[in-house]
A and B are shown apart, each in its own frame.
Chain A
Amino acid sequence: MSNRSIRWLLNELPGLVSDGVVDDATADRLRSRYPAPSSLTGSRLAIIVCAVFGALLIGSGVILLLAHNWEHLGRPARTVIAVLPLLASQVLAGWVLVRRGDSTAWREGSATLLALALAAAIALVDQTYHTGGDLESFLWRWSLLLAPLPWLLNSSSVAILFLAALTWWAGAAKADRLEVIWLWPLALAVVPHVVSVMRSDRRGLRAANLQWASAVFLCVAAGLGLEWRVPGLWILVYTGLFALMIAVGTATRRDEEGVWRRPLEAVGVAGSVVLWLILSFDEPWKHIGWHHIHNDERFHQAASFFDVALAVGLPLAALAAVTLILDRRRHTLAMVWTVSVPVAAIVWPLVAASENTDLRWIAALAFNLILFVVGIASITSGIRSQNLGTVNLGMMVIAALTVVRFFDAEIGFVAKGLAFIVIGIGFLAANVVMSRRLKRAEGGAP
């Protein structure tokens, strides 16, 4: 049971006893079964947060001081200033590893400081000798030298810094039309740390933060890491990725946890809605597939094959996750949310294989239907389980679909108007049916 629920139960107990709902003995047994959550967890968390932010601010301050470019100091002094903070924070991190390995605050703080001192050293050497080139070259060297730190020092804040630096590098390199094929192998460096945190404290704050960082990283990196040689592969990649996130997130969550503790599901659901809205237009379905492959020499062969591997592998992994780890009765709604995977698997090859461009309308229509069905399914499931969040989510999906179609210039006003009226009548009919059922239920109740 979550701490909040335990506090609620303990607050209710005196009232329940005085009302005669439970006797004193039961109340005592409940108290011993659910001891009051100590405020120690909170203070411990505060200590860690202070350590991380202290290190972040000091490190950033050092970087700013160095960025001032103390030219009059001369090269030898500046090289010493560049390397000294790095050396000092390495010694501190080594000492923490030996003497304070059990303290999360020490580990996170010293590791963050080391990560920033490393950035400062690289930047100051570049600055002193006017070398190093672009931002992207700096970010690449920083990411490479940072990669083993999250696991070695068991530090989640450095893992998040590393993922951010890596994503930034991929973005900068992609903008300069450079190869980013090393993005995925290097990103694997955080996996040992993520696994160890998930094993030791799956419900903790560090695990939640790491999952948020990983989920956001995966979303951005899936786009940046693609070679984009076969047009339209991104549709399959993202459909599979979001469905996989929803399936894995749903299977591993506990129901009482809020959205902040369910990053995989949150990112998967939000990403799916945005993706489906985009795919509900026919524009993204134009000129996709093998017929439109780019044969420019700029493309990297291995990276192009990796694109295909992702486009096939992610949807398959999502399907496997849905069939193997989701419970058909408990997770029905989550299964509905992954329906885009089989739909995309059928529609994408159809559109790609056909020279007949009209088929792309079928694809766009299919994703309109997905949005509609998923929206309605969420609303009904939310009503059934009395979960307002799910009802609101479903309503937001339907509302977004309505707005997008209302302003869609490709459909004639008459067709649009008629469709809106028909669907509106459907909602009113549903309203009438449900009200009657409710009245009957109330009338039948004793």
Chain B
Amino acid sequence: MIDNSRAVLENGIEYDVIEKIEWNHQSYIYLVNPKETEDICIRKEIEENGKTYLVGLDDQEEVNLALKLFTEKNQAEEN
């Protein structure tokens, strides 16, 4: 059975999906290595021709934006 709450990335490591944020027609997927919580990465989820892909972000600016989105959403939920 496929578990879509996890993803095995190109480095062969399995990551947990900890958050998904939709913004400006993009879906940002936040991934953490459950065995090493400082091992964090972010992907975008896209659909092409009926298939779903995880792709990298364009640049540091987009990573920073994704971090801001995560922070704003989760800090708001804490308040």
A binds B: no
